[in-house]
Amino acid sequence: MSAKKAFSDISRTVSGLTSEIRREFSERVSHIGSRVEDLMAEVMAKVEKRFGNEDEHVIFRALPEPAELGMTLSDVLRARATQRTFSDEPLSDQDLSTLLWAADGINRPNGRRTTPSALDWREIDIYVLKANGIWRWVPEKHGLIFCHLDDVRSETILAEPTLHIAPVHLVFVADKAKTDTFLSRLGTKVAAKVRHESWSVEKLEEMRTRSMIIDAGVKVQAVYMAATAMGLSCVARTGFDREKVESLLRLGSEESAVAIATLGYRPNSILDAFR
C-alpha cells in the first residue's frame, strides 16, 4: 500500500469518528468539576481492596505546599549527580512534598502536571516507602494515602548495602489500564482498518510500552533535579526484584514497577552509612 493511499484511508477513518470525538470531549468538560473527588474515592477504594482495612487505617494525609527551589536550572544541571550515601534522618514532610510535586504535581488550574505524559494518560503512579509503611501519592489532593504499616524498604534493594539506611524510596508504577483512552482506541481502530506495515496494532502496542517507560523516566529526572536543588542524596535504580516489589505493593495485572528513586539527606560523616 502506498503512503498516499494509507494517508487517504486514515483520513476517512478519522473523519468518520469525528462525532464520537466531539461527544467524548463534551462529556469530559461537563464532568471536570466533580472529577477530583470521584478520583479520590476511586483511589481510596482501590487501596482498601488491595491492602485491607481491618482497623480502618486507609486514611489520607495532606502534605504542606511545596517549597520554592532557589537554584537555577543551569546550576542544577551542573550539580546533578547520583549519590549513594545517606543519613538515616527521616525526610521531612516539607521536603517530601517538594520532591513529589516536582515529579508529579499539579501546576495548572486544569489539573495538568509538572511532568508530561503521552496523550495525557497520567498513567504513572508513585508509591512512597518509609519506615512507617507504604503510602500512595495523590497529586490531585497533594497528599498521601496510607496503604500498609509494613516497612518494606529493604526488600526493594539488591546488593547495594548503603541504600538500606535511606529514609525514602519512591516506586514509579506504570498502570497500563490508564492508557486505554479514547485516543488510544481511535489509533487502534485506524491501524486495524488501514493495515499498513508502518501503522499496525502491534507497533502501536510497542509504542505504548515505550511511552510508559519514558513517562516514568521523566518523573525520575524531575526528582533528581529537585533533590539536587535541595541538597539531597538521590539514586534512581532498576536493580530490584520486580515481581517481589509488585507483590509488596499488591499491584494489579496491568501494573508494573518501572523504577525506584532512593532519597535522603546527605550523611554528616562516613559513620552515618554504617549505623
Please, which residues have CB within 8 angstroms of residue 20's CB and are 6 or more apart in sequence?
182
Cα separation of 44 and 52, whole Å?
11
pLDDT digits (tens, 9 = 90+) for 164-208: 999 999 999 999 999 886 666 666 666 566 665 666 777 878 888
pLDDT digits (tens, 9 = 90+) for 46-82: 888 888 876 566 689 999 999 999 999 999 999 999 9
CA distance 116 to 35: 20
Question: For residue range 12-33, what is the model confidence (pLDDT) as tens digits?
Answer: 555 555 555 555 544 544 444 4
| pTM greater than the 0.85 cutoff | no
Boundaries of every domain in the chain: 3-274
Q: Kindly give the residue spans of alpha helices, DSSP state H, lying in 231-270.
A: 242-248
The alpha carbon dihedral of 45, 214, 108, 139 has a sign of positive
- Domain with residues 3-274, CATH architecture: 3-Layer(aba) Sandwich (3.40)
